[in-house]
Amino acid sequence: MIRLSFTCAVLALLAGHLDALQMREECVTPNSSRGTCIEVKDCTPLLDLLKAKPLSQAQLEYLRKLQCGFNDRKPLVCCSQQDPELKPPDAEVVEDVSSHRNLPLLRNDICGQFSDDRLIGRLTVYLNEMPWMALIAYSESKGNESTFRCGGTIINDFYILTAAHCFDYLKNGIRPIDCEEEEFMDMKSCAPEPEDIPIAQMVVHPQYTGKSGLQNDIALIRLTSQINFSSDSVRPVCLPIGLSVQEQNLVGKWLTVAGWGVTEKYTSSRVLLKGNVPVKSNAECEQLYKNQLQISNTSQLCTGGVRDTCNRDSGGPLTYYGPMEGSLRVIQHGIVSFGPQTCGNTELPAVYTRVGYYMKWILDNISS
């Protein structure tokens, strides 16, 4: 619908000109590129530009100048394959990080390890099954008791990966209190007491668009002290490294999401919960959200069709299994970003920030 309306707008603009060239005559664009006078529907570069994104006023004015004649009352345009003005904006590009200078800061030697008997099909979270899970707590006003608001994942000795929208409250001057690096299990068989580590620094993606768009919904937390990996109850998750993993086609696969979020009973869980969710194509996701938000083909993932994430699962991980350092490990592919307001809604997909797309940003912003 949107693309059609832009095409109609362009035709309406062109209809006001009365230049005299005939169909398929040679022409010159305003940028001095040689072209051919043809109908809009036959000009592939122009059609690609219309499909790429809404046009600016300057672009619409340029299209007006491309008009070169009429063919049976249909406006013709001077179409050139070399005209830079007709090239759509650069597509999102995933950057390979397999040689990044900060790659050694990730603990690929111990990340994402699991036992084979806990691999697939079980929704019970075993003790130490997800030792990379973290909870982020803050108070809504000075002096109030802090409560856990978002999830996150341990990615190395000092850093937690989470969603940028978890820190929207900073605009109101609310201060985060601490971050919990251990998972809660049933009270009969517990990991060591969770360790609360204060936050030293928060790095929110500079192009995060806020809740109005939720693009680039990713953030890093640096802790004030180093995480102790001497116990099996605390370990980092693996991150996607190398283009084959960063760009892995996950559509149709069932990935695992975990968190302490609001359950279908509208209460926060006291124990860590997980669920398996199918990845949907971004085209299907874009269609379902077309009247609400823009969905990126490269920097976001969508899952849905079954019971999915809920409030306070924000910032938590979407994981899948893959090779790392010669063994099968748990790799984080997504960060819980947003979804339907009603928990368990199967009509709208849940949307995740795609970690593989942001690997360079992550590595650029961590330090020893």
Mention every residue, 6+ apart, whose C-beta is less than 8 A from residue 224: 197, 198, 199, 200
Instruction: Domain 2-86: give its CATH architecture.
Output: 2-Layer Sandwich (3.30)
Residue 309 identity: T
Quickly tell me which residue has 């043809």 as its tokens. 38
Torsions phi, psi for 160 (to 5 deg): -115, 135
* Catalytic residue (one of 80, 233, 314, 337): 314
Q: Which of 75, 88, 14, 12 is nearest to 44 (CA)?
A: 88
Neighbours of 347 (CB within 10 A): 9
Q: Please, are residues 95 and 360 in contact by the beta-carbon 8 Å criterion?
A: yes
Furthest CA-CA distance within the chain: 86
Q: Please, are residues 24 and 77 in contact by the beta-carbon 8 Å criterion?
A: no
CATH number given to 103-364: 2.40.10.120
C-alpha dihedral, 167 to 170 to 175 to 177, nearest 10°: 0
State the pLDDT at residue 108: 95
Q: Where in the chain is the domain with CATH 3.30.1640.30?
A: 2-86
Q: Where in the chain is the domain with CATH 2.40.10.120?
A: 103-364
Local structure of 74: helix, strand or coil: strand
* Catalytic residue (one of 80, 83, 165, 205): 165
Asked about 165 being catalytic, the answer comes back as: yes
Q: In what order do the strands lie in the sheet with 26-28?
A: 26-28, 34-39, 74-79, 67-71
> Which residues, given as ranges, of the chain have pLDDT below 50?
1-13, 15-19, 117-122, 170-189, 262-266, 308, 311-312
State the pLDDT at residue 30: 85
Torsions phi, psi for 305 (to 5 deg): 95, -10
Mention every residue, 6+ apart, whose C-beta is less than 8 A from residue 80: 29, 33, 34, 35, 36, 45, 86
Asked about 100 being catalytic, the answer comes back as: no
State the pLDDT at residue 97: 94
In 126-252, where does DSSP find H-type helix? 243-246
State the pLDDT at residue 342: 52
Please work out, in degrees rounded to the nearest 5, the angle formed at the alpha carbon of residue 148 by the alpha carbons of 130 and 348: 75
How many alpha carbons lie under 13 Å from residue 356 in its C-beta half-sphere? 24
Torsions phi, psi for 220 (to 5 deg): -120, 145
Q: Is the dihedral of CA 326, 328, 331, 333 positive or negative?
A: positive
* Catalytic residue (one of 83, 178, 217, 308): 217
Asked about 217 being catalytic, the answer comes back as: yes
How many helices (H) and strands (E) would you count in the chain? Answer: 6, 16
Euclidean distance between CA atoms 344 and 251, whole angstroms: 20
